[in-house]
Amino acid sequence: MYGLLFFIEIVLFYIAVIVFGVGTVYRLWYWLQTPVPLRINLAPAKTTWKGVTGKIAAEVLLFISLFRNDKWLWIGAFAMHVSALIALLGTHFFGVIDAGIDLWTPYTIPGAKTFIYVFACFAFPLIAALLFLLIKRIVTRDVRRLSIATDYIAIGLVLAHVIGGTYMSFFTELDMGEVMKWGLGLVTFQPYVVTVSWIFPVHLFTGFSLFMYFPFSKLFHPIGQISNRWTMTQKETELIAGGRCVR
């Protein structure tokens, strides 16, 4: 049992970091080293770099094309991504910062626990949105026909990870001291295995799986979106006197 826990909590962590880092860099590099022989702007094209950046930002941050097209899908997708971002950053990073401050400084952040609870509450809209998207995929005739196993694997993994996290936040009392020791152990290469909780390694397993799966699957789509938009949203230059003609 200890061996399995050691593998999930320690070995898998290092594997996931390497696979994630190398995979992401490799895939992005492979995309960007491939030439774009012809300009494939999608109109209306912007004329300034400010405009181009603004357009890409609106697409990446607000999914503006989707908003104009399919309101229901936009609601599902936007709710899912925003609550995922808040829940992920809020619970994990804020939790780590809070625990670190507790551990090393004489200070505490007032109301930190409440904050983490509030962040963790975003897991509920996240689960709802994920289920909504899953049901939409199954119900829509043509999307169902085109969906393959990996589409369901991706959504299932995320759901499992979020449900595990929610259970940990609301239904168990996780010893943050133990978690900090584990984290420090990873950074200082002095492995420390958390053995007091069963849900913690399960949550870690789904999390690391997602990390490793990320660069090789459709989960990579945010980075793909930026690359694709960048390819298609170039500045409209005076290639051949467009607009007012020269006499």
Partner 1 sequence: MMKLQEGLNKLIEIEANSLPESERKSEAFKERQRLDKKIMEMTIPPEKAEYDRRGTPIIDSDEEREKHHLLTFDEIEVQRKAIEGMIRKSVDRPYLARAKDLAYIGIPEPMEPEKRPEKALELLGDMRDDFRSLMLSVDICTKCGACVEACHTYLGTADPNNAPVGRVDLLRKIYKRYFTRAGRLFGGFAGGEDITQETIDLWYKYFYQCNECRRCATFCPFGIDTCEITIQARQILTKLGLVPDFIVSVARGMHHVGNNINIPPAAYADTCRFLKEEMKEETGKDIPIPIDQEGAEVLLNPSSSEFFVTFDSIKGAAKMFYAAGTSWTLSSKILEAANFGLFFDYGVMKEHNNRLFNEAARLKVKRVVAGECGHGWRTWKMFSSQLSKPLNYPVTHLEDEILDYLRDGRIKVDKSQNPLPVTIQDPCNMARACGYIDQPRQILRAVCEDFRDCWPRGDRNFCCGGASGLLMDEFMYHRMMFSKPKAAQVYNTGALILAAPCAICKAQLPNTMIYWQTGATVHGIIDLVGYAVNPFL
* Tokens 């390497």, residue located: 18
Rounded-to-integer distance, Cα 121 and Cα 112, Å: 14
State which of residues 17, 73, 134, 163 lies at the interface with partner 1 (CB under 8 A): 73
The alpha-carbon radius of gyration of the chain (Å, integer) is 22
Of 11-19, 61-69, 123-131, 201-209: span binding partner 1 (CB under 8 A): 61-69
* 244 part of the interface to partner 1, by CB under 8 A: yes
Is the CB of 37 or the CB of 106 nearer to partner 1? 37
Tell me the two tokens of residue 165: 């996290």
What does the alpha-carbon distance between residue 92 and residue 83 come to, in Å, rounded to a whole number? 14
CA–CA separation, 207 and 164 (whole Å)? 10
- Choose between 6 and 78: whose C-beta lies nearer to partner 1: 78
Answer yes or no whether residue 186 interacts with partner 1 by CB under 8 A. no
The separation between the first and the last C-alpha atoms of the chain, rounded to the nearest angstrom, is: 82
**Binding mask 218-237 vs partner 1 (x if CB under 8 A, - otherwise)?**
x-xx--xx-xxx-xxx--x-
Rule CB under 8 A: is residue 9 a binding residue for partner 1?
no
Site residue total, partner 1 (CB under 8 A): 60
- Using the minimum distance from each CB to partner 1, give the nearer residue, 60 or 103: 60
Output 34 or 105, the one with its CB closest to partner 1: 34
Q: For residue 6, give both structure tokens.
A: 């050691």
Which residue stretch of 25-33, 166-174, 184-192, 201-209 sits at the interface with partner 1 (rule: CB under 8 A)?
25-33
Dig out the tokens for 63 from the structure: 């999914």
For residues 184 and 177, give the distance between their C-alpha atoms in angstroms, rounded to a whole number: 10
The answer for 70, left when phi > 0, alpha when psi is -120 to 50, beta otherwise, is beta
Interface ranges with partner 1 (CB under 8 A): 30-32, 34-45, 59, 63, 65-66, 68-70, 73, 77, 136-137, 140-143, 145-151, 216-218, 220-221, 224-225, 227-229, 231-233, 236, 239-247
